[in-house]
Structure 1
Amino acid sequence: MRIGGEVSALSRDGGGFLRWVELAEGDAGVSGYPFTLPVVAGLRAAGRLELDPAVTFLVGDNGTGKSTLIEAIAVAVGFNPEGGSTNFRFSTRATESALGEHLRLVRGISKPRTGFFLRAESFYNVATEIDRLGVADSYGGASLHERSHGESFLDLATHRFRPRGLYLLDEPEAALSVHGCLALLTRIRDLTQAGSQLVVATHSPILLAVPHARILQIEPGGTISHVGYDDAQPVLLTRSFLADPQRYLHHLFNDEG
């Protein structure tokens, strides 16, 4: 069985909670960051970005805009820009881009019962807000600050992510070991089987192995293409390096004599 790039066996009637994302009418004249990012050029060229009813992965090199797009989708949905659910309304420092104000989300027939925006770089702030609100019981029973970074990510996915939810994840592998990535992969599969939809920006070849996931690759030039698992950039580069690390090291360090 191939992984990635196929029509999902987990897809549900109705097209998921979010069917596609497009730029709002009249944005063509908007310039400056974040509208200079490759992902925005790709959106303009494609017209819309179709999302899988189960799992959509966004991949691409640093600077292509995948995390900015995840953040913008989260803002357009109504999630707190720093992370959390739609009920979180704290702000440590407003750093979100204006892209969320220029997105149009086309929704499916049904609405999610719950949801969460996991943003790796600001998860410490989310954990602090959870403590302040006194809702740690919903996240495993103890303060997320009392667990390692990776443990807190997995506790969030295990205890807070529930069936028929909409989950937007920005580089969730940032805190995870290889075993942790495998555990999250399993949890993602379980959530989709329970009717959830996920959109994930990632560099992890392990997470990309979720069966039947849609992998959208953002190129530096702005092209957005639907690729299979074996053709995804993180998979190709990781396999190539592991097959012959000395070749890469020689190339990278050849200026050291």
Structure 2
Amino acid sequence: MSVREIKRKYTTMDDRYPFNLDIVRRFDGLAFSAPVTIIVGDNGCGKTTLLEGIAAAAGSILISGEHMEKDHSLSPAFELAEDLKIIWSLKSNNGFFFRAADFITYTRSIATMREDARAKIEEIKQRDPYSLEVLPYAKTYHELRSLYGEGLEKRSHGESFFDLFQARFRPGGFYILDEPEAPLSPQNQLTLLAMIHEMTKEGAQFLIATHSPIMMAYPYADLYEVQNGVLEPAIFDELSHVQITRDFLHTPDRYLRHLFN
């Protein structure tokens, strides 16, 4: 595994975000003993904020390939990162920080880059069919075609999601994924788990925040649940997400009659 541990160097006492969140106030570190670590918690518990800080401390890039510093909304993450220290077994330049909200933005940006390159190629060829000026644009166009085919935007949400991950996953990377199940059907969540499992065989490491019991069921993961602002080791069958989902599927009427009566 690339990362052995995340340590809290010191605790900033501040009433500003993100230091006013319980999960940040009470986070003193996290040691990794498995290639996949999964964090579970209700909306608003601060999972995403913690992952953003860890990603900033690890020097992660975004799924787009851009540095996190270019996204000004992530400025608080870099403040939190100052409190954190990443203990590496082997520093990896592979990996990225993925937020479900970034997926559509990146898909559109890839389509724009491909179309801009194609248009520039046509413009140059009309001016001079033999111009070497076309080469960098042709390289960009063909690289995007090689990675993403006709374009992520031309496939279904789930299909394009897998195309993107298959193109971007690399052996030995440290991948921080915030709710990666968001665009996926239950069947495709299982496919994602299989993809993650294959990548762990090549030395990849994953830190995942999720609401999906399917993702939580990955049998080789270390599970943590946010309880009263503290990351506590958890057991799959005892997770509240799992218990509520299981109970609902067994007796949906018992839940629904309270909502619609």
The alpha-carbon deviation at position 241 of structure 1 amounts to: 0.8
The alpha-carbon deviation at position 20 of structure 1 amounts to: 2.3
Which position in structure 2 is the counterpart of 1:48?
29
The alpha-carbon deviation at position 190 of structure 1 amounts to: 0.8
Which position in structure 1 is the counterpart of 2:241?
234
1:173 matches 2:181: yes
1:247 matches 2:226: no
Q: For the structure 1 residues 92 and 99, does the alpha-carbon distance in structure 2 shift closer, same or farther, using more than 3 Å as the test?
A: closer
TM-score, structure 1 length as denominator?
0.81
Alignment of 1:98-137 (within 5 A): 98-103=76-81, 104-112=84-92, 114-131=94-111, 132=113, 134=140, 135-137=143-145
The count of aligned residue pairs is 231
The structure having more radius of gyration, on CA atoms, is 2
SS at match of 1:25: coil
Kept after mapping to 2: 8 A contact 1:68/1:97: no
SS at match of 1:174: coil
Kept after mapping to 2: 8 A contact 1:79/1:88: no
What amino acid is the match of 2:57?
A
Residue by residue over 1:79-100, the C-alpha shift from the partner in whole angstroms, topping out at 9 and shown as x without a partner, is: 34xx326x42488863225133
What amino acid is the match of 1:68?
T
Q: For the structure 1 residues 138 and 79, does the alpha-carbon distance in structure 2 shift closer, same or farther, using more than 3 Å as the test?
A: farther
Looking at structure 2, the residues matched to 116 and 102 of structure 1 have their Cα atoms a distance apart, in angstroms, of 18
Kept after mapping to 2: 8 A contact 1:138/1:159: no
Looking at structure 2, the residues matched to 92 and 109 of structure 1 have their Cα atoms a distance apart, in angstroms, of 28
Which position in structure 2 is the counterpart of 1:60?
41
Q: Which one of the candidate residues 205, 222, 235 is aligned to 1:214?
A: 222
Any runs of at least 4 consecutive aligned residues in structure 1 with deviations exceeding 6 A, and if so which? none
Looking at structure 2, the residues matched to 199 and 93 of structure 1 have their Cα atoms a distance apart, in angstroms, of 21
Kept after mapping to 2: 8 A contact 1:150/1:175: yes
Looking at structure 2, the residues matched to 114 and 92 of structure 1 have their Cα atoms a distance apart, in angstroms, of 19
The alpha-carbon deviation at position 252 of structure 1 amounts to: 2.3
Which position in structure 2 is the counterpart of 1:95?
73
Kept after mapping to 2: 8 A contact 1:116/1:166: yes
The alpha-carbon deviation at position 113 of structure 1 amounts to: 5.0
TM-score, structure 2 length as denominator?
0.79
Residue by residue over 1:179-202, the C-alpha shift from the partner in whole angstroms, topping out at 9 and shown as x without a partner, is: 110100111111112111000110
Which position in structure 1 is the counterpart of 2:119?
none
1:35 matches 2:19: yes
Q: Which one of the candidate residues 51, 61, 67 is aligned to 1:70?
A: 51
Which position in structure 2 is the counterpart of 1:142?
150
Looking at structure 1, the residues matched to 256 and 52 of structure 2 have their Cα atoms a distance apart, in angstroms, of 35
More helix by percentage:
2
What amino acid is the match of 2:44?
G
SS at match of 1:175: coil
What amino acid is the match of 2:148?
G
Over the matched positions of the two proteins, sequence identity in percent amounts to 39
Q: For the structure 1 residues 160 and 217, does the alpha-carbon distance in structure 2 shift closer, same or farther, using more than 3 Å as the test?
A: same
SS at match of 2:74: coil
Residue by residue over 1:38-64, the C-alpha shift from the partner in whole angstroms, topping out at 9 and shown as x without a partner, is: 321330xxx212234400111100000
SS at match of 1:184: helix
